[in-house]
Amino acid sequence: MSTTKKVSLKDEIKAYALVALGSLLFAVGDVMFVNPYHLAPGGVYGLANVFNALWGWKISVAGVCMDIPLLLIGTWILGPRFGAKTIVSVVLIPIFTYFLETYYGYAPLIHDGIYGSKEALTSFLSYMDGDIEKYFIPDFFLNTVVAGIIYGVAIGVIFRAGATSGGSDIISMIIHKYTKISLGVLVLIVDSCISLTTLIIGNIRLPIYSIILIYIESKIIDLIVEGFTTYKTVFIVTDRIDEVKNFILNELKRGGTCFPGLGLYQGQERKMIYVTLDRTDLVKLKANLRHLDPNAFVNVIESSEIMGLGFKALPEE
């Protein structure tokens, strides 16, 4: 009994540490990479960046004001434990963001010009009548790629901890709970709509780069949440069921399921094997299938998530 409590406490501490790390990374990505280029990669902080560009509102303050109602909805639907971790994230993100925007400002880290800090910009503008374009040459593409990676790692780490960063992430997690659609795909859809608000600022490139950022972010989220290992689901229709079965069991050290089938054209009874493999085992199977059964019919399907014996553990209630 005591061992179970100790392990549980350790897991909880690890989860909250991940929430803190993800929140810090999120704030860094937003203040140092997203805001200086007037991007809006979805979520309430995407809207907060638009408000900052239009009216000078602090990102942290605007984010908190929009997060509160969504947080209440998320806690109600997704449960109190989930809500507790999300509350920590929703509190830490604006704290880190406020600290960075107050003591660092909104100076971009990536650019092609010589502008490197708020103080340097102020000094240059005093000589050039406020012409910032002569000293800040933006590098939109590189900044977008880096921002997408940072955002993806930040939100992915928070998701792994069983929380969200608030805002549209809560919407994505709620939809994921009932549909099992990839979190990365849901973030891409929801946040792309929000990114279109950058058109208010008046530059067509802003929503385009924002959507590219979201796409990169969604792929990184899937890698963090689902892991780097990819699996393939293979259906094999064969007349040499024993040869193929023995190869899978003895050479690949994998299990599978055998189904009886009926051919549509000739009405002959056929056997079909269902098996899930990683990329390496799939290559071995394909290399040997011609020798095992030259007439085999094989269908390979991409599997985004595999749970059960030998793979990822089934989720707890």
- Which residues have CB under 8 Å from 127's CB, separation 6+? none
Same domain, 221 and 250: no
Residue 77 within any structural domain of the chain: yes
Structure tokens at 215: 């796409």
Tell me which residue range forms the domain holding 299.
231-303
- Per-residue pLDDT tens for 173-217? 788 878 878 777 887 787 788 888 888 887 888 999 999 998 898
CATH for 247: 3.30.70.120
Question: Mean per-residue pLDDT for 73-84?
Answer: 74
Residue 316 within any structural domain of the chain: no
Same domain, 222 and 235: no
Amino acid of residue 217: E
pTM over cut 0.85: no
- From 226, 244, 262, the end of a domain falls on 226
Same domain, 58 and 11: yes
Same domain, 133 and 262: no
HEC readout, 201-248? HCCCHHHHHHHHHHHHHHHHHHHHHHCCCCEEEEEEEECCHHHHHHHH
Residue 66 within any structural domain of the chain: yes
- From 202, 226, 250, the end of a domain falls on 226
Query: Is the model's pLDDT at 97 over the cut of 60?
Result: yes
pLDDT band with cut points at 50, 70 and 90 for residue 259: confident
- Per-residue pLDDT tens for 29-58? 999 999 999 999 888 999 999 999 899 999
Same domain, 131 and 264: no
Same domain, 204 and 236: no
**In the chain, how many domains are there?**
2
